[in-house]
Structure 1
Amino acid sequence: MSNLQISRLANRHFSYLTDPVTEKVNPKTLKYLRKNIVGMIASKIGEVIVYGTDNLLLSSFLGLAAVGQYSNYTLIVNGVGSVINQGFSAVTASIGNLRVSGSQERQNEVFFQYSQLVSYVSFFISIAMALFFLSFIQFWVGKRFILSPTLSFLIVFNFFVSSLRYSNLNFMSAYGTYWEMRYKSILEALVNFVISIVLIKYTTWGISAVVIGTLLANLTINAWWEPLIVFSIGINS
């Protein structure tokens, strides 16, 4: 219903949109669109693998009880992350407009200001989670579902590192660099899977092994690849 209303208003205010179109999209634009669509699909596949393999590994090696304990924490972390992302991604359209209308110096300035804001918000929310995680889990599902303080810290730290990526991700989304990201998410998923399965098989770290696998994939792949795309393909292109 919302989309129908938006379509009706668009047709009323911009009536030329309903005029018959005879021109064809030029081949260069079509090629650009196809490449970005392929890049986006590859990126999403890698993203699904990254977030989907953790529970599979836990259930395979540690049992469903471990999955249930870990899921209580990830439910909260993913919920908080989703809310934060909604706020940060609201400026994506403005970033896209900045690329067209702003100078390279202005884009650099906005990127670093935006990254600083993301860092502050992520830091304070992570501190709050670290302080109240155990108490909330105990109040919500009971004391027997509480994980160790070390594991809770790892989960919060992984959330913090992942949250710092929002500035890079939103700039890449605004700049349309999906083609350049096509291998990044798949490599991230591969690194995450290999490290997680090695740690969970050859150590006694349990759930921590899976969290460390995700954390190391973030630090070894995303921490340098995403900023590289933002500056080499986006701002400085």
Structure 2
Amino acid sequence: MSTRIINARRNIISGFANKLLSILMPFIIRTVVIKKLGMDYLGLDNLFVSILQVLNLSELGLSSAIVYCMYAPIAENNVKVVNAYYGFIKKAYQIIGVLVLFLGVLIIPILPHLIRGNVPSDINLYILFFVYLFNAVISYFLFAYKNVMLSASQRVDIYNNIMSISRLAMYALQIIVLFSFSNYYVYIIMVPLSTIINNIITSKYVDNHFKEYRPCGKLSSEEIESLKHQIIGLFIGKLCVVTRNSFDSIIVSAYFGLVVTAVYNNYYYIMNAVVAIMAIISASIIPGIGNSIATETVEKNYHDFMKFNFIFCWVTGCCTIFLACLYQPFMKMWVGRSNMFSLSSAILFAIYFFVLMIGNIRAAYTEAAGLWWENKGRAIFESVANLILNVVLGKVWGVNGVIVATILTTVIINFIMSSKIIYKYYFKNIKINEYFMISLFWVIATGISMIICLYINKIVELDGILELVKCSIICLCVSNTIFWVIFHKTKLYLKSKKWIVKAFER
């Protein structure tokens, strides 16, 4: 078995374990914070994390572009070029660290204006924000650049394993602190300590196993120009993804306060956990998209695209219905009725999930085709429009307005405009009508299934786990039955079914 396959298998296993840990442990931590301290503290955490995600935008695309550029020289054992890229990212990270620190200090005076109402009486807003800012900045100066060596050498499993162990230790200590002292300062100081330990361990590993590589030398002007183009393309492509929830949380905090921000992010957390699971599914059905685009015809790739999209939309539709029906009973069990939004908000979050995920396969093909640059205008437009609509609709319709704003920008700008871009630059001679039509059918099928499931679940209401089990069975049966009735005679259904059967036979 080749080294590449072994590394890929290691990366998948470690990545899955790390993903599982990043879903389950924060859920436990959020629960303990709510029970021991209260929703205000959770709201503060959500707000500060969102602010720092916006400040950290300057890093987006840099590490990915560097890793991409290092693949070939590492494979060719060109130590001089690898060292030059290594030195470039070290210097770049130091500049970014200074920039993030500077922007963070500038934001400090306006922090009170980003929070509606009061903060917890035992919290100094500025000291707490400095701890979060320190955690965001310290990595840039403390060996974070060495992570690219693991990625470029296809040993992401090492980074994932170190991250998983350090996070697990951090979460365990945080839980002990919360139960022993109920002190938020002691609880949050564990985060930068974990970051420091994680970076030191990673640095030691890289130094011991990649001794021939050192951050030194300079890139040629051609290499810098090529790198610059890739960084800008990747940065813009990821811009709207990062800012989407960050802007939402900041606006919710400014308009409605910390408690509502915490509730909002509890709903978002559940939705995002399903998104993370869906990412694992999508990764399993589209492993060869990049290779296929490079080696197969556009027509062949289009048929694969429509097939994978159909399968993914089926799963997305089912998950959307599960979210719409299970949100409220789950939230009631988890945080109590007093810390819940209305059913309308839960349904809007389910719709948010649907419009976010229905274009996932198209996004994968867009990235594999390298259309970051062609998407730059769309990404910037979406981020700006989302912020403006958040401010306007949040003022008019409250929290639901913020969710509706994100749904509108995701549908109109992300889904429609991004789809037109890939059909313009890759699927050039194929009409987009078929893709839009099948997407519309999925909207109708999912909408009908959701209404029926919500109605049936309302007839008989149980308590606790029994309600979740009842809702799950109804959603599973009704959604798949309706989807089958609508699609079972279509060519896409038959092709997708044939592909799935073959995949399981291998």
TM score, norm. by length of structure 2:
0.41
Does the Cα contact within 8 Å between 1:55 and 1:67 map onto a contact in 2?
Answer: yes
Q: Does 1:233 align with 2:425?
A: yes
Report the equivalent of 1:115: 309
CA distance in 1, matches of 2:75, 2:326: 55
RMSD between aligned alpha carbons?
2.8
**CA 1:157–1:65 in 2, change beyond 3 Å: closer, same or farther?**
same
Report the equivalent of 2:245: 51
Report the equivalent of 2:136: none
**CA 1:233–1:104 in 2, change beyond 3 Å: closer, same or farther?**
same
CA distance in 2, matches of 1:197, 1:111: 36
Q: What amino acid does structure 1 have at the position aligned with 2:423?
A: F
Report the equivalent of 2:369: 175
Measured after TM superposition, the shift of residue 166 of structure 1 is 0.6
1:165 aligned to which of 345, 354, 359: 359
Does the Cα contact within 8 Å between 2:298 and 2:426 map onto a contact in 1?
Answer: no
- Unaligned ranges ≥5, structure 1: 7-14
CA distance in 2, matches of 1:98, 1:206: 46
CA distance in 2, matches of 1:25, 1:59: 46
CA distance in 1, matches of 2:321, 2:242: 27
Q: Does 1:77 align with 2:136?
A: no
Q: Which is higher, the Rg of structure 1 or of structure 2?
A: 2
Report the equivalent of 2:411: 219
CA distance in 2, matches of 1:30, 1:103: 32
**CA 1:32–1:228 in 2, change beyond 3 Å: closer, same or farther?**
farther
CA distance in 1, matches of 2:224, 2:421: 22
2:394 aligned to which of 200, 208, 222: 200
Report the equivalent of 1:18: 77
Q: Which has the higher contact order (CA 8 A, sep 6+)?
A: 1
SS at match of 2:315: helix
CA distance in 2, matches of 1:107, 1:145: 47
SS at match of 2:380: helix
CA distance in 2, matches of 1:75, 1:182: 28
CA distance in 1, matches of 2:300, 2:239: 34
Range with bigger deviation, 96-105 or 30-39 = 30-39
SS at match of 1:235: coil
**CA 1:61–1:136 in 2, change beyond 3 Å: closer, same or farther?**
same
**CA 1:85–1:16 in 2, change beyond 3 Å: closer, same or farther?**
closer
Report the equivalent of 1:9: none
CA distance in 2, matches of 1:16, 1:38: 25
Q: Does 1:146 align with 2:205?
A: no
Structure 1 runs (4+) deviating above 4 angstroms are 19-22, 24-27, 29-33, 90-93
Does the Cα contact within 8 Å between 2:239 and 2:383 map onto a contact in 1?
Answer: no
- Unaligned ranges ≥5, structure 2: 1-5, 8-73, 82-218, 430-506
Q: Does 1:67 align with 2:261?
A: yes
Measured after TM superposition, the shift of residue 35 of structure 1 is 2.2
Range with bigger deviation, 40-49 or 78-87 = 40-49
CA distance in 1, matches of 2:237, 2:415: 16
CA distance in 2, matches of 1:21, 1:69: 52
Q: How many residues align?
A: 223
1:35 aligned to which of 229, 232, 243: 229
CA distance in 1, matches of 2:80, 2:316: 47
**CA 1:117–1:183 in 2, change beyond 3 Å: closer, same or farther?**
same
Measured after TM superposition, the shift of residue 64 of structure 1 is 0.9
Does the Cα contact within 8 Å between 1:81 and 1:163 map onto a contact in 2?
Answer: yes
CA distance in 1, matches of 2:220, 2:297: 28
Range with bigger deviation, 86-95 or 75-84 = 86-95
Does the Cα contact within 8 Å between 1:93 and 1:174 map onto a contact in 2?
Answer: no
Query: Percent of pairs identical after alignment?
Result: 23
**CA 1:123–1:18 in 2, change beyond 3 Å: closer, same or farther?**
same
Does the Cα contact within 8 Å between 1:37 and 1:179 map onto a contact in 2?
Answer: no
Report the equivalent of 2:322: 128
User: For each residue in 1:110-133, what CA deviation from the matched residue of structure 2 results, as whole angstroms up to 9, or x when unmatched?
Assistant: 111111111101000111111111
Q: What amino acid does structure 1 have at the position aligned with 2:255?
A: F
TM score, norm. by length of structure 1:
0.84
CA distance in 2, matches of 1:41, 1:101: 27
CA distance in 2, matches of 1:172, 1:41: 15
Does the Cα contact within 8 Å between 1:43 and 1:183 map onto a contact in 2?
Answer: no
